[in-house]
Each structure stands twice: as structure tokens, then as C-alpha cells.
Chain A
Amino acid sequence: MNYLHEDRVKKRMASRLIKNKLLKSFFLGATLLSLVVLAILMYRMISQGHAYLNWDFLTNFSSRFPQNAGIKAALIGSLWLLAVVAPVSLLFGVGAAVYLEEYAKKSKLTTFIQMNISNLAGVPSIVFGLLGLTIFVRMLSLGKSVLAAGFTMSLLILPVIIVASQEAIRAVPKDLREASYGMGATKWQTIVKIVLPSAIPGILTGGILALSRAIGETAPLVVLGIPVIIHFLPEGLLSEFTALPMQIFDWAKRPQEEFQYVAAAGILVLMIVLVIMNSVAIIIRNKFSKRY
């Protein structure tokens, strides 16, 4: 009996190998495409924006005239926004993660909360803007303030922070907790002195990545009605402000060609802020991450 038709196998071998080669290069091409797109994107932004990116650009307010337009109000406004979003989202995000990982019993309520978090992560950002407009801007009459935008953005990134913190807390080995209980520590003492310190690098890495999403997000701010032509810096949490992506959006929409370059310069500033934040996250990850 003949199990293998050797001649037939040989005949098809060449075409099978060629197909393998061809598609391998297609797969490689598809992978490299993202690299190419990223390169083109960065090149475009730098070549368009570099001429406008100077000290005046950083220290001027926005203007009707492209050569005078600056990003000061937006840059400082984004930092104010960060000052609200960071504490609020980390407090509630890490708190929820500690509850779900350390205290919550396996109950229907816990499953519901967990399911709700993953569904919340899939809600489009613009819908969070509608929520913020009704609840924070109108019902709580916070107006188009740093606080209203900060709360909206905090809710937007809350699911990301919860999930990242949960993973970080879950990665803390059980031995550490049990050793702590064995020494007579209470549950809360164990959480504060053992679990959180070992989970903090993971929490911070995930947290900073989530915060950089909040810095770059535009849609909720548009819906809240955050103004773009602002010639003062925020004086407190309740003052009006503008933010980097809003300012870029405004410039990008203007018909004059020069404003395209101004927008590109604004994008460069935004990208630099994001690169700084991501570098901090990477440094934290590399420096403090312990392997158990």
C-alpha cells in the first residue's frame, strides 16, 4: 500500500514554499506598516510645526493672527486638569481595586461591579461628555470649569485605572500577605504596609498611561463646551480654562493655512507632554518592578 504519493508531494512542495515566503513578506509588511505610519506622522508634525515651536509660542495666549498664537493657556490648563484628574481617578480607582481584590466576596454584586467596569471601558468618550454636561456642568452648576472637566475625565479613565491596579494587586504573592498576618498584622495594616507598597509600581505605570489618555482626549471637552479663546490662566478649580487638545482642534478647523502649522506646533507640545509622562511610567516600571 502507498501512504505517500512521493511525486505528488514533490510537485506541490515548490508552490507551498513560495506561498509561505510570499505571505510571510505580506505579514511582515503589515507589521512594518504601523511603524511607517508612525514615522510619517512624526515627520509631518515636526516638519510642519517646528517653525512655530519657540519660546513665544509657549508664553503667548491664542490669537486671531497665526504668528502671535501661543499655547500658554492650553498648556497650563491641561496641567490644572491633570491636577484634578490624577488624585480623583487614583483615589477612586485604587480604592475600588483594593475592595475588589482584597475584601469582596464572590457574590453576584461583585460580579456585577466587575462586569460593569468592563462595559464602562467600552463606552465612547463622547458619551462621557454628555454625562459631564448634564451632571457636572448643569446639575451641580460647576460650569465649564477645571473641576467639571476633571470629574468627567476621571470617570472616563476610572475603568482603566481599576483594571491596572487590580492586576498589580493580584500580582503581589500570597506569601507576603500570609507572613504579615502571621506576624499579627490586621487586614488593613497588611494592605497599607505590605500589599500597596509592592503593587505601587504597577499601579503607577497603569495610572500614568491612563492619565496620558486623559490629557490627549478631546471629545468630552468639546461636549462640555470648554472654550478655546481664553486670555487668562485658571485661578482656581472653578475657573474656566482650555486644554491642549481643544486648542489644537480649534486651530486645525480654521481655514487659514498658517493655522495648520500652528496646530502642528500644538500637536508637538502635546506629544512632548505625553512622551514625558510615558517615560516616567517606563522608568517607574523598570526601576521599581520586583519579580517574585
Chain B
Amino acid sequence: MVGKPGHDKLNVQDLIEQSKNKGAKKFIEKLMPKLLFITALVSVLATVGIVFTLIFETVEFFRRVPFIDYIFGTEWMPFSGTNPTYGILPLIVGTLKVTAIAMAVAVPLGLAAAIYLSEYASESVRKVIKPILEVLAGVPTIVYGFFALTFVTPLLQEIIPGLKIFNALSPGIVVGIMILPTIASLSEDAMSSVPKSMREGALALGSTKLEVALKIVVPAALSGILASAVLGISRAIGETMIVSLAGGATPKFDGQVTDSIQTMTAYIVQVSTGDAGYGTTIYYSIYAVGFTLFIFTLLMNLIAGFISKRFREEY
């Protein structure tokens, strides 16, 4: 337009003025930020929805079951016809058993893998291993659950004679394998961000690579490593399918890992797949358990965030 003969009086300034005065365009410019703001609010609404859903239904639950009985009770027998009891502790103990076993597997192995990838591995090895870790992290938990039930449990039964079909050990180990990639890759990120000069300083003083890794890099990256472990705990607590398939449905308040257990998540699954009707105490109990679970994981996530913020060392 500008270049055409007869229009050469029209300059860019006019074009800008013209476009500024178009009503529709102005309208869109004003409307879009508001629409986009609403989409951003959806995530806030989701949190609000979760918190309110859990609170409302849990309050209904506590109208029927005393709060003290719930948090201090050591017997969880909601399906008992004559005298149902709702003491959350056995479910928490079951959850903690699985979490502890998972962390015993995932932290040492994840940390070792992270040290290898960040300190020893060549660039080409890293390029092969990292995608494999990503694939492992992307395997659906139902697949891990099936794996635990049909492979890990029979294998463990060969080694430990008294092991029941449903137990805490097998799902614990498999949950550990599931969170291993998360811990490995988050720890590796933390270690990779330790500046090279620190490693080179230690190497120049005659340290072996191992000494550099354990005495320089790991301490310097400790906040990131701890945060990754706490996030791992949070994921282990919230893990559902592995523990429902391989853990069993027997809430127990003891320290056994070879017997059938039940975790908080597995209880919710048990009720959801059963036929407890809407409005029964059992129906409301899954919200109380869900709320307890939510508080546990929220605490862990907040701690992880706090650790990585508070103890981060800046170089």
C-alpha cells in the first residue's frame, strides 16, 4: 500500500493511528488478558475445590466418628457389621512401612546413580542413560503394581519363606524403583550445578574422584539432594496402584513387613471398588483418609520447598 503510486502520502505514522482506532482490535487487546487471567485462576480453583471438598466431607465424617477416636485409634475395621471402628493409625503405619522401604531402596541407589551420572559418566553415556531414566519415570503405576504382584513378590518368596502374597516388602521395593528416577535426576541436577572450580580445586590438591564426589560435590549439593528425597517421600506416601495391587487390604498396627498391610491410598481404592453407598459412614471415611493423606503430602512438599530455598548455597 505504502509503495503504490498515488498513496505515497500515507506514511507509517498514519497506519499506526488508523489501526489504533479500530474498535474491534482495541476490544480484543483489553479482553484477552482478562480471559487468560481466568484460565490462570483455574489452577487456584482446583486447589480451593480440593480443600473444600475434603473439609466438607470430612466434617460430615466427624459428625459420626469422634475426632479423638480417629487420630488415636489403633483399630481400623470399618466393614465390621456390629462394631465398626475408625482409628487411622494402622493405615498410617501401613503407609509409613511402604514409604520407609521405598526410601531405603530409592535414596542410596538414586544418589549413587546421580553421583555416577554427574561425576564419572562421559557425555555420551549420560545421553543414553538419562532418557532411560525418563522412560522408567513414565511407566504407569498400574504396570509397576502388576510387576510387583506377579514378579517381585514370587521372587522374594523364594528368598524369604514366610512371605505372604500380600506384604509391605514387595510394594515398598517397587515404589522405591518407581521414585528412583525422580531422586536420581533431581539430585543430578543439584550436583551438576556445583561449579567446576570447586572440583578442580580438590583434584589439584590430590583428591581422588570419589573424594571429590563425597567430600565436595555432595555436601555442596546437599539442599537439592535432601529436597529430592523429601519429594520422593511425598510421592511414596501418595502412591496408590502399586500398594493396592501388592500390599493387601489388612490394616495392621505393628512393625511386620512380611504380612498383608493396608495403606491410606489402598483403603480409598478398596472402598471405591466396593459397594459402599453414598451417604454411609464408610463413604465419608474415604474423604477423611484422603484429607489425612493430603496433609501428609502437603507437609512434605512444603518441607522440600523450604529446604531448597533455605539451605541453597549460592556460588
Contact = CB atoms under 8 A, between A and B. Distances in A.
B39 to A, nearest CB: 3
Contacts of A112: 44
Contacts of A127: 50, 54, 238, 290, 293-294
The range of chain B's interface size is 35 or more
Interface in B94-141: 108-110, 112-113, 115-117, 120-121, 129, 132-133, 135-136, 138-141
A264 B150 CA distance: 10
Nearest to A37: B177
Interface string A112-147: 110011111011111111110011001000000000
Contact of A91 (B39, B272, B293): B39
Interface string B2-32: 0000000000100110010000010011001
A290 to B, nearest CB: 21
Nearest to B178: A37
Interface in B205-263: 206, 208-211, 231, 234, 237-241, 245
A26 B112 contact: yes
Interface string A243-284: 001001100110000001001100100110010001000000
Interface residues of A, number: 86
A34 B181 contact: yes
A1 interface: no
Nearest to B13: A184
Nearest to A257: B150
Given A31-B121, A122-B231, A218-B140, 13 more contacts: A28-B116, A33-B109, A34-B177, A34-B181, A44-B147, A99-B39, A118-B305, A123-B238, A127-B50, A127-B54, A129-B272, A134-B53, A264-B146
Interface stretch (A16-24, A54-62, A64-72, A79-87): A16-24
A249 B142 contact: yes
B40 interface: yes
A44 B155 CA distance: 13
Contacts of B138: 209, 212-213, 216, 274, 278
A172 B212 CA distance: 37
Contact of A34 (B180, B211, B237): B180
Contacts of A184: 12, 15-16, 19
Contacts of B273: 222
B269 A126 contact: yes
Contact of A98 (B36, B43, B129): B36
A218 B240 contact: yes
A212 B135 CA distance: 12
Contacts of B281: none
A40 B151 CA distance: 9
A123 B43 contact: no
Interface of B: 12, 15-16, 19, 25, 28-29, 32-33, 35-44, 46-47, 49-50, 53-54, 56-57, 108-110, 112-113, 115-117, 120-121, 129, 132-133, 135-136, 138-143, 145-147, 149-151, 177, 180-181, 184, 206, 208-211, 231, 234, 237-241, 245, 265, 268-269, 272-273, 278, 286-287, 290, 293-294, 297-298, 300-302, 305
A195 interface: no
Nearest to A93: B39
A239 B268 CA distance: 25
A122 B265 contact: no
A159 to B, nearest CB: 7
26 contacts: A19-B208, A19-B210, A20-B210, A27-B112, A27-B115, A31-B117, A38-B135, A41-B143, A45-B143, A95-B38, A96-B43, A119-B302, A120-B46, A122-B297, A125-B240, A130-B57, A134-B53, A219-B141, A223-B268, A245-B142, A249-B145, A249-B245, A252-B142, A252-B245, A270-B143, A274-B138
Nearest to A282: B131
Interface in A126-185: 126-131, 134-135, 138, 155, 158-159, 162, 184
